[in-house]
Amino acid sequence: MPVQLDLNIIARYAHGCAVLGTGGGGDIRIPLMIAQAALAECGPVAVIRPEELADDALVLPVGGWGAPTVCIEKFDSGDEGRLLCEAAERWFQRPVAALMASEIGGGNGVQLVSWCARLGLPLIDADGMGRAFPEGDMCTMHIAGVSPAPAFFADERGNVMTTHPIDALWHERIARHLVLVSGGVIAGADHPMDAATVRSATIPDTVSLALAIGEALERDGVDGVLAVAGGRRLVTGKVVDVERLTSGGFARGVVTVEGTGVDAERVVSIQVQNENLIASESGRTIACTPDLITIVDAGTGEAISTERIRYGQRVTVLGMPCADVWRTPKGLEIAGPERFGYDGPWVPIEEAGL
């Protein structure tokens, strides 16, 4: 486990987050530059286990909401983390002891590093998804029965909003409207917990996992990623079609990959809602949510976010197993294929398409 994130390893960590993002969570390029600037100015960020905090210490899960296609054009002010922490501290009348990524995947796993650096707060080595999901109720805190309320939101203009939804589904509905009124993206903090709850309601060691994936990618490319994360190559080929639409606060679409080399004459389609959700070939599913589907550059192995995928790219599509909690009946109810309106039951990546 890393004891800190510093300038020497932040890029590796970011590339690991991109792999776990399954195409979503926000592109890492801008958050990485912002994190590098904050680390250079303020010093490294301590990474701690929740066991290192007192049971009643306040932990604030944070992240960005909205369509990834908007995130690459509409930048944060950099002050959202402070605004969210101040809102939480006013509510609870005690200090925030640490920040945690709501989702480790993509830019959300990187963004809060700059907030931690500037606020002098440690980063919890855990998150609420183990990947990225498009909707706010799709988190392990929901599985564990932790209330999303109170939830805090801040935009780049300095507007701060507090909501108290009755459950996780209403939290998603209300937050999505705030995303739309804020121009397509907003920063949020929800499911505030004490450290004792974090230990049982989140996926542990995901900061460490992202860093390990990034280091393996730098060392051994795609083979290194699969050695750390597990799973398999689904297809290697060329992107021959991209359908993309930003609607309702989500980036939606279909990516079609035509196989090359040993995969010649194969055609794989990936359904997208912020994240890559379903991969199919000749009408059969070869990978599906909540397992991870990540499209990477065939040469470098670096993950390609859904908003940056384009015609002609040479890619490899990876399928990787999700955290065990998503394979439970409650986990599949919240983030399985039927939750997104797709027919057919979930099939583990180890068995899908075989």
| Distance (Å, whole) CA 78 – CA 315 | 33
9 and 57 assigned to the same domain: yes
Domain boundary among 207, 240, 256: 207
Cβ neighbours, 10 Å, residue 109: 32
153 and 21 assigned to the same domain: yes
274 and 198 assigned to the same domain: no
251 and 142 assigned to the same domain: no
Q: Over the range 11-37, which residues count as b (16 or more CB within 10 Å of their CB) and which as e?
A: bbbbbbbbbbbbbbbbbbebbbebbbe
Q: How many domains in the chain?
A: 2
170 and 284 assigned to the same domain: no
Print the SS3 string covering 113-137.
HHHHHHHCCCEEEEECCCCCCCCCC
| Distance (Å, whole) CA 67 – CA 219 | 32
Residue 215 lies in a domain: no
According to DSSP, residue 303 is labeled: B
Residue 83 lies in a domain: yes
19 and 130 assigned to the same domain: yes
Q: Residue 77: its pLDDT value, please?
A: 81
Q: By residue range, what is the domain housing residue 170?
A: 4-207
Tokens 């390609």 belong to 304
Residue 353 lies in a domain: no
129 and 25 assigned to the same domain: yes
- Amino acid at position 32, single letter: L
Non-local (6+) Cβ contacts of 34 within 8 A are: 76, 78, 111, 114
- At 191-200, the pLDDT tens digits run 999 999 999 9
Domain boundary among 172, 207, 242: 207
Alpha carbon dihedral 138, 172, 201, 45, in 10-degree steps, equals 100
| Distance (Å, whole) CA 315 – CA 22 | 14
Residue 270 lies in a domain: yes
User: Are the C-beta atoms of 92 and 132 separated by less than 8 Å?
Assistant: no
Looking at residue 236, which CATH number applies to its domain? 2.40.390.10
Non-local (6+) Cβ contacts of 191 within 8 A are: 61, 102, 128, 139, 141, 146, 147, 148, 151, 201
Domain boundary among 207, 242, 266: 207
- At 285-333, the pLDDT tens digits run 999 999 999 999 999 999 999 889 999 999 999 999 999 999 999 999 9
Q: Residue 237: its pLDDT value, please?
A: 98
| Distance (Å, whole) CA 347 – CA 242 | 26
43 and 113 assigned to the same domain: yes
Looking at residue 191, which CATH number applies to its domain? 3.40.1610.10
Residue 220 lies in a domain: no
176 and 253 assigned to the same domain: no
Q: Residue 352: its pLDDT value, please?
A: 79
52 and 161 assigned to the same domain: yes
Residue 354 lies in a domain: no
Q: Which two tokens stand for residue 15?
A: 């590339």
Q: Give CB contacts under 8 A, 24+ apart, made by 307-311.
A: 307/27, 307/68, 307/69, 307/71, 307/72, 307/244, 307/251, 308/27, 308/72, 309/23, 309/239, 309/242, 309/255, 310/239, 310/242, 311/239, 311/240, 311/241, 311/242
156 and 37 assigned to the same domain: yes
Residue 223 lies in a domain: no
Tell me the whole-structure pTM to 2 decimals.
Answer: 0.95
Q: Which two tokens stand for residue 233?
A: 């190559």
Residue 347 lies in a domain: no
Consecutive sets of 10 residues in the chain, 354 residues long: mean pLDDT of each?
87 98 93 97 98 98 84 80 98 98 97 97 98 95 98 96 97 94 93 98 98 98 96 97 81 93 97 93 94 97 94 98 97 95 89 71
66 and 173 assigned to the same domain: yes
